[in-house]
Amino acid sequence: MALHPDPYRAVDRQADPLKMVESLEDRGRTPTQVRLRRRFLAFAGIRPGWKVLEVGSGSGVVCRDVAALVGDSGEVIGVDPSRVFVREARRLARPHGLGSRVRFEVGNGLRLRFRDGTFDATLAVTVLLHVPDADQLLREMIRVTRPGGIVAVQDQDFGTLALDHPDPALTQRLFDGVAKKIYADPWSGRTLPRKLRSLGLESVRLLTDVYQDTAFEPWSRTFLLRRAENAVKWRILSERQAERWLAGIEARAYAKTFLMTLNFYGAVGVKPRERRP
Ligand SMILES: C[S@@+](CC[C@H](N)C(=O)[O-])C[C@H]1O[C@@H](n2cnc3c(N)ncnc32)[C@H](O)[C@@H]1O
């Protein structure tokens, strides 16, 4: 069966899943991303002693931060369909000395193995964008959250991707064309608060944050290179156009005028408490 254009839909079937681990870790340590992630986790209001589930835990970047927030008396479980990601997340967590406070297991967010109401909080960070049925994943997260507990989701919105490039028209064609091919809804970030409300969550709050890079960070470089490669593969740009486009980015970086921004939308809702008859 042909592979879907979004590699995150089937990580273990990709040519080099370890490269994807590297890319998630690169993103995870990029200073703006560290700030973005920690602001979102603070906004979600995760408390010491909580039992937290992260759906789509990847290489474990978010779980490692959550483990610090829940402290010794708390517990964090990361679930991911990729065996490679789960194995690497365990390995990468080890040097952090978090012990049994953080665990990773293979699982599908669309069918979680946990009982109703198991967790104080459930999280999905840059995951919904990669799932064909985001509502089903959210329903599962809500099911395993306790009444009064929180469901917190954060996602990029590729309709907000901005790059200062000498050829803005070419840039827009490439960004829109590639995003449309990869994601079911490239503008999904802005839909998150509406989705949480429509699934019955209460007190839904929104934190809009921006990934801002003016230093041409390694993660941005890899991200833009992949976009160009895919644009050629999917015939959105010719090879010459892609080369010219990448040269335009290098020129900005050389002149120290590189600028790329991308909005991240973080939405948090509370699972209603059962009402007494
Ligand atoms: C971009 S990564 C995000 C990883 C991590 N949350 C982070 O922010 O570093 C997307 C993750 O979603 C996972 N994923 C894809 N489909 C999923 C599903 N049906 N259930 C749970 N996770 C899924 C992928 O395996 C991948 O680890």
- pTM attached to this predicted model: 0.95
Q: Which atom of ligand 1 is nearest to the CA of 27?
A: 9
Q: Which atom of ligand 1 is nearest to the CA of 58?
A: 27
How much is the pLDDT for 276? Answer: 61
Contact 75, 101 (CB under 8 A): yes
Residue partners of 147: CB distance under 8 A and separation at least 6: 117, 271, 272, 273, 274
Ligand 1 centroid – CA 23 distance (Å) = 13
> Which residue is closest in CA terms to ligand 1's atom 10?
127
> Which residue is closest in CA terms to ligand 1's atom 1?
126
Euclidean distance between CA atoms 75 and 266, whole angstroms: 22
Number of residues that this document lists for the chain: 277
Query: For residues 246-266, b (16+ Cβ closer than 10 Å) or e, as one string?
Result: bebbeebeeeeebebebbbbb
How much is the pLDDT for 274? Answer: 77
Looking at the predicted structure, is the pLDDT value of residue 100 above 90?
no
Mean pLDDT throughout 129-148? 97
How much is the pLDDT for 71? Answer: 95
How much is the pLDDT for 2? Answer: 81
Query: pLDDT tens across 31-40, in order?
Result: 999 999 999 9
How much is the pLDDT for 122? Answer: 98
Residue partners of 253: CB distance under 8 A and separation at least 6: 216
Ligand 1 centroid – CA 202 distance (Å) = 25
Q: Which atom of ligand 1 is nearest to the CA of 108?
A: 20
Nearest-CA neighbor of 63 among 81, 77, 48?
77
Query: Which residue is associated with the tokens 């892609």?
Result: 242
Ligand 1 centroid – CA 8 distance (Å) = 7
Contact 70, 44 (CB under 8 A): no
Any alpha helices (H) in 48-133, and if so which ranges? 61-70, 83-93
- 67's tokens: 């483990």
- Domain coordinates of the chain in residue numbers? 7-156+185-210+265-270
Looking at the predicted structure, is the pLDDT value of residue 134 above 80?
yes
Cβ < 6 A, ligand 1 pocket = 8-9, 11, 24, 28, 55-58, 61-62, 80-82, 85, 108-110, 125-127, 130-131
Q: 7-156+185-210+265-270, what's its fold?
A: Rossmann fold (3.40.50)
Query: Which residue is associated with the tokens 């708390």?
Result: 74
DSSP at 242 = H
In this structure, the number of other CB atoms found within 10 A of the CB of residue 114 comes to 16
Query: pLDDT tens across 55-99, in order?
Result: 999 999 999 999 999 999 999 999 999 999 999 999 999 999 888
